[in-house]
Copies of this chain bind each other. A is one copy, B any other.
């Protein structure tokens, strides 16, 4: 499925997802169109430079694409961000990652949406799927109840984990672990040798189901819940400070370490610079 290479020198559109398997591409397209349908006119395109919308390293072994839309001033949404990367690995394999993130503004304290699918080969993947909390859950048991107990969010983690091919995944970065909710699906799915067909079945089946349901919860209860969780002006500074720390750490730990080896310092610097701008850092 990596045959659909963009024509020489020209970038592909983000939504072409040219290197993904059919079920993976179809899942990402479905999620993105749900976001755009439901948030609709609340979103405005973010003016990405063409060499950020699509970028590749000099050797032509790594490429990627960004998608970003910002919420209008009246929206709870700060931004929606998509990233895909495709990299030929020194081992001969191929790395394909796709992310879809929805971040909210400080006028609400509702969780952010987080989806990352990391495929480092045809038969296994790492999944990060969460409504990432923006409050200290210990101090705010009502927050835990609203967004995680009442939404039955843990059922989706449990369903995925009940697959014989799935096991819990632990990020090596403790800060990243701390960012996740107690219902986060942090899983490694390994379909074993010759398990390519089985893995695609899971991506198009249980993984797609869980991702779509979690996205709907986020849209209904977080991004579009206009009257639900307005924050008092007095606590907004605290919330925004917390958001800023999380955003900065996410970029420092996650992106700033993975981009340079794949794209070289210049391209990595350009992409991370734009991401910092989108994140408001």
A interface residues, Cβ below 8 angstroms from B: 136-139, 141, 144, 148-149, 154, 167-168, 174-175, 177-179, 182-183, 241-242, 245-246, 249
With contacts A136-B136, A174-B149, A182-B178 known, is A141 near B242, CB below 8 A? no
Given A154-B174, A174-B154, the answer on whether A179 and B242 have CB atoms closer than 8 Å is no
Do A144 and B175 have beta carbons less than 8 Å apart?
A: yes
In contact, A246 and B138 (Cβ under 8 angstroms): yes
* A132 to chain B: closest residue by CB: B138
CB-CB nearest in chain B for A183: B174
Beyond the given pairs A141-B175, A141-B245, A144-B174, 19 more chain A to chain B contacts, judged by CB atoms under 8 angstroms and listed by A's residue number, are A136-B136, A136-B139, A137-B175, A138-B175, A138-B178, A138-B242, A138-B245, A138-B246, A139-B241, A139-B242, A139-B245, A141-B249, A144-B178, A148-B174, A167-B168, A168-B168, A174-B182, A174-B183, A178-B182
- How far, in whole Å, are A178 and B144 apart by their CA atoms in the complex? 9
Give chain B nearest CB distance to A77 CB in angstroms.
21
In the assembled complex, the CB of A89 is this many whole angstroms from the nearest CB of chain B, namely 25
Chain B residue contacts of A182, Cβ below 8 A: 174, 177-178
Tell me which residues across on chain B come within 8 A of A137, comparing CB atoms: 175, 178
List, in ascending order, chain B residues with CB within 8 A of A148's CB: 174
Shortest beta-carbon distance, A250 to chain B, in Å? 11
Residue of B nearest to A172 (CB): B154
Q: Which residues of B contact A174 (CB under 8 A)?
A: 144, 148-149, 154, 182-183
Chain B nearest CB from A106 CB (Å) reads: 15
In whole angstroms, how far apart are the Cα atoms of A242 and B135 in the complex?
13
- A154 (CB) vs chain B CBs: closest residue: B174
A249 to B242 alpha-carbon distance, docked (Å): 24
21 residue pairs from A and B, CB less than 8 Å apart: A136-B136, A136-B139, A136-B242, A137-B175, A137-B178, A138-B178, A138-B246, A139-B241, A139-B242, A139-B245, A141-B175, A141-B249, A144-B178, A148-B174, A154-B174, A167-B167, A167-B168, A168-B168, A174-B183, A177-B182, A178-B182
